[in-house]
Amino acid sequence: MSRFLGTKKYMGDKVPPEIREALEKRIEECDLRCVDNYRFSPMDDPEGLQEFEEISKRGCCGSYEREVSDSTGRKWLIGCNYGH
C-alpha cells in the first residue's frame, strides 16, 4: 500500500495494517476517484489529530473522514481527499 503516505507522524509501519486496509476498503466501496492526501491519526493523540486536520485543509474538492478501531480497540481517524 505504498500510495498511503499518511502524515509525517503516522505513516508506513506506524499505522496498523487493518487501519490502512479500512481506508482502502472505504475508497473502493464509495467509488472515490482521484484520491490524495491520505491521513491517519489515533483519536487519543492531539498532535496527530492536528497534523491530520492540516493535511485535510490542503486538499481540494471532496473530503472523506471516518473513525475506525484497530484490533486492540484503539480508535483512529482515517481520511483522504478525492475528486479534482
- According to the model, what pLDDT value does residue 42 have? 95
What nine digits make up the cell of 23?
Answer: 481506508
Residue 72 lies in a domain: yes
d(CA 52, CA 62): 15
Residue 36 lies in a domain: yes
Judge whether residue 2 has pLDDT over 60: no
Mind listing the pLDDT tens digit for each residue in 15-70? 899 999 999 999 999 999 988 888 999 999 999 899 899 888 888 789 999 999 99
Domain boundaries, position 47: 12-82
- According to the model, what pLDDT value does residue 21 have? 93
**Interacting residues of 46 by C-beta distance below 8 A, sequence separation 6+:** none
Q: Give me the number of domains the chain comprises.
A: 1
Evaluate whether 36 touches 48 at the Cβ level (below 8 Å).
Answer: no
**C-alpha triplet 34, 36, 37: angle, nearest 5°:** 155
Residue 66 lies in a domain: yes
Judge whether residue 13 has pLDDT over 70: no
What nine digits make up the cell of 65?
Answer: 473522514
The helix or strand, by DSSP H or E, that contains position 52, with its residue range, turns out to be: helix 46-58
Judge whether residue 12 has pLDDT over 90: no
